[in-house]
A and B are shown apart, each in its own frame.
Chain A
Amino acid sequence: MVGLSEGEKEFIKGGIAQDLRSDGRKRYTYRPIYVETGVIPQANGSARVRLGATDVIASVKAELGKPSALQPDKGKVAIFIDCSPTADPTFVGRGGEELSAELSGALQHCLLGSKSGAGAGIDLSSLIVVEGKVCWDLYVDGLVISSDGNLLDALGAAIKAALSNTGIPSVHVAAGASNDEQPEVDISDEEFLQFDTSGVPVIVTLTKVGKHYIVDATSEEESQMSSAVSISINRKGHICGMTKRGGSGIDPSVILDMISVANFVSRQLIEKLDSEISAAEANEDESL
């Protein structure tokens, strides 16, 4: 990240205060989103999302596993994010670990709910094969290729697109297995069940600069932020998770205002994202 001179910083802050950012966007406008699905053929589902110069890839791999004893009727989902050195030279080796851990944690909170699995944005009970014995484990991996701010939103969108692109193979369970043994399962190569992603939330990050908040900050704007709140909202307008970063404190009334702004913005974002995802899937079908 190159540094910014004082004059440039003033210009950015002034732009946000006057509702006209450096690239002409208003405070609540997103950059053009570009979605591509099926970029990794070996994975069960994958997607690449470009938000301006921010570029991320998400992939979903499904494997059969045993459900945890505490929730025998739910499958498991694990989310891991990796920051590639192509995004920033400081990410070489272990440099990107802090950011990766932060992003993974935030995404897990937003999409997976609490440790007990309650309140997850992704419907975990649809992943069960045989209750108590066999379930699907989804491993969601995200890779940050290029970073120009707003990584959390891009990763949230990529995961949503990858999940809608995911095909879980249908499983035939051998009949007549006793209660104690592991049942035999036959994974078909042909039939796939599309994962239901209508309940998957999107993440909207609001970055506070001065007195105003903006949506979809570039990395220059993020360098001027005092704090940022990321809210994941689903189609019904319910909040599925929230994270706050940044050292300065925010008044509770400001947080409530940010939530209502995020609600308003998320409706347009969900529509746009859904149309982009279906366009991407249509493109993928054509090219196949």
Chain B
Amino acid sequence: MRNLQLSLNQTQKIRLQSALEKLESLSSKSNANSVVTVADSILIYEEGILKGHGTLDRKGELVATVCGVVERINKLIYVRSLRSRYKPETGDIVIGRVMEVAQKRWKLELNFTQDATLMLSSMNLPDGIQRRQTAVDELNMRSIFTENDLVCAEVRSSHNDGSLQLQARNQKYGKLEKGQLLTVNPYLVKRRKLHFHHLEQYGINLIIGCNGFIWVGEHVEVTDKMAVDQANDSEQQIGKCDQNSMDIDGPDGTFTPLKTRQNICRIANAVRVLSALGFSITMEVIMETVNFSKTMNLDIHEMLGSEFYVLVAESEAERRSATKRKR
């Protein structure tokens, strides 16, 4: 909602304004009293209060150090900030870009205060067998992930000093190819049960990383390397040669098929619109926006035009007021 760089004409501005006001009025008012800014004092009425994150004891008075909402759990009082960098928790699915290949580990950039570490031991070895790592594996690290690759992984632990350990032991984690990456603010991605979405009707993978990186790409079949390898060894080599020379003459077969690409672009634009408007990014909202644009027969790039922004804001306001009425 900040810095919407669109040329809205007068009517569109009015409509957007009214939609945003409607959304604000629908948001719960219960916390209106407990919103604090930096240096606001927090009133406490009891003894023995534990002072948590975002608070500071100044001359006996409890003062907030961040802008946010005051939360209280039994004896713990803390301030939960609304907009902040990604706050990792164990078990989060994240997408990172390899910044550095170091000794027995990769360093990934995650939109976090530091680079996260992915140890070689937290990765499945390329031939799939569980065995001890040798020095040869360490030398071949670059053949698994090299610099600037996109990797999907899970947070294994976050240490006291803030460093983050990742693991990618599952088949569904690993290198991401054939798609595009979108960056949104981390606070727009709420933690859910499911972050991997395989959209069967489009053949697309949608991974919503908790750190604000969202991947939209073609679905690649995850094959069992052991069985395939022996049969296809020679075939694979021919395949690779073809791929290198196909750059200019690319038949459509080696590029992503057009239909899938159109859906990828539609979903990507839906995410861009939602993030610019500051709405939470979830599967349902994304698919709703995409279907909305399809029913309106909008060209894919028109989804980034001012008219669509206003329509999305209005429909979201409608949806939320409808759910509120049902309650």
Check A23 against B150 for contact (C-beta < 8 Å).
Answer: no
**Min CB gap A221→B, angstroms:** 12
Partner of B255 from A17, A33, A50, A55 at Cβ < 8 Å = A17
Check A24 against B256 for contact (C-beta < 8 Å).
Answer: no
Residues of B within 8 A of A279 (CB): 7, 9
B262 within 8 A of A: yes
Among A20, A55, A276, residue most surrounded by chain B Cβ atoms (within 10 Å): A20
B305 within 8 A of A: yes
B258 within 8 A of A: yes
Residues of A within 8 A of B304 (CB): 23-24, 31-32
B250 within 8 A of A: yes
In the complex, identify which listed stretch (B61-69, B126-134, B171-179, B318-326) lies at the interface while the others stay far away.
Answer: B171-179
Cα A49 to Cα B38 in complex, Å, equals 35
Check A24 against B148 for contact (C-beta < 8 Å).
Answer: no
Given contacts A3-B148, A24-B304, A34-B5, contact A18 B261 (CB under 8 A): yes
B178-209 interface mask toward A, CB cutoff 8 Å, 1 = contact, 0 = none?
11110000000000000000000000000000
B294-309 interface mask toward A, CB cutoff 8 Å, 1 = contact, 0 = none?
0000011101111000
Check B300 against A7 for contact (C-beta < 8 Å).
Answer: no
**Min CB gap B296→A, angstroms:** 14
B42 within 8 A of A: no
In chain A between 239 and 288, which residues have their CB closer than 8 angstroms to a CB of chain B?
A: 276, 279
Residues of B within 8 A of A31 (CB): 304
Check A11 against B148 for contact (C-beta < 8 Å).
Answer: no
B151 to chain A: closest residue by CB: A5
Check A14 against B149 for contact (C-beta < 8 Å).
Answer: no
Check A18 against B301 for contact (C-beta < 8 Å).
Answer: no
B252 within 8 A of A: yes
Partner of A24 from B175, B252, B258, B299 at Cβ < 8 Å = B299
Cα A12 to Cα B217 in complex, Å, equals 12
Given contacts A22-B268, A24-B269, A24-B303, contact A34 B7 (CB under 8 A): yes
Residues of A within 8 A of B266 (CB): 24
In chain B between 92 and 122, which residues have their CB closer than 8 angstroms to a CB of chain A?
A: 97
Given contacts A20-B261, A34-B5, contact A8 B147 (CB under 8 A): no
Residues of A within 8 A of B258 (CB): 18, 20
How many positions in chain A have a CB within 8 Å of any CB in the partner chain? 34
Check B177 against A10 for contact (C-beta < 8 Å).
Answer: yes
In chain A between 1 and 37, which residues have their CB closer than 8 angstroms to a CB of chain B?
A: 2-8, 10-15, 17-18, 20-26, 29, 31-35
**Min CB gap A17→B, angstroms:** 6
Given contacts A3-B97, A13-B247, A210-B247, contact A50 B303 (CB under 8 A): no
Check B148 against A22 for contact (C-beta < 8 Å).
Answer: no
Residues of B within 8 A of A210 (CB): 247-248
B6 within 8 A of A: yes
Residues of A within 8 A of B299 (CB): 24
A94 within 8 A of B: no
Given contacts A3-B97, A24-B266, A24-B300, contact A11 B7 (CB under 8 A): no
Partner of B180 from A13, A22, A32 at Cβ < 8 Å = A22
B149 to chain A: closest residue by CB: A5
Residues of B within 8 A of A2 (CB): 97, 148
Check A25 against B148 for contact (C-beta < 8 Å).
Answer: no
A211 within 8 A of B: yes
Check B179 against A7 for contact (C-beta < 8 Å).
Answer: yes
B148 to chain A: closest residue by CB: A3
Cα A26 to Cα B179 in complex, Å, equals 18
Check A10 against B178 for contact (C-beta < 8 Å).
Answer: yes
Partner of B265 from A8, A17, A20, A32 at Cβ < 8 Å = A20
B272 within 8 A of A: yes
In chain A between 67 and 126, which residues have their CB closer than 8 angstroms to a CB of chain B?
A: none
Residues of B within 8 A of A7 (CB): 149-150, 175-179, 217
Residues of A within 8 A of B149 (CB): 5-7
B257-277 interface mask toward A, CB cutoff 8 Å, 1 = contact, 0 = none?
010011001101100100000
Cα A31 to Cα B7 in complex, Å, equals 12
A: which residues have CB within 8 A of B?
2-8, 10-15, 17-18, 20-26, 29, 31-35, 50, 55, 210-211, 276, 279
Contacts A/B (CB < 8 Å), 28 sampled: A3-B97, A4-B148, A5-B150, A6-B149, A6-B177, A7-B175, A7-B178, A8-B150, A8-B177, A11-B180, A13-B247, A13-B250, A14-B256, A18-B258, A20-B261, A20-B262, A21-B265, A22-B180, A22-B268, A23-B269, A23-B272, A24-B262, A24-B265, A24-B301, A25-B301, A29-B301, A33-B7, A34-B7
For the complex with contacts A12-B180, A34-B6, 7 further pairs of A-B residues with Cβ separation under 8 Å are A6-B149, A7-B150, A18-B256, A23-B300, A24-B299, A25-B301, A34-B7
Query: Which A-B residue pairs are the 6 nearest by beta carbons?
Result: A7-B177, A24-B300, A3-B148, A14-B255, A24-B301, A24-B265
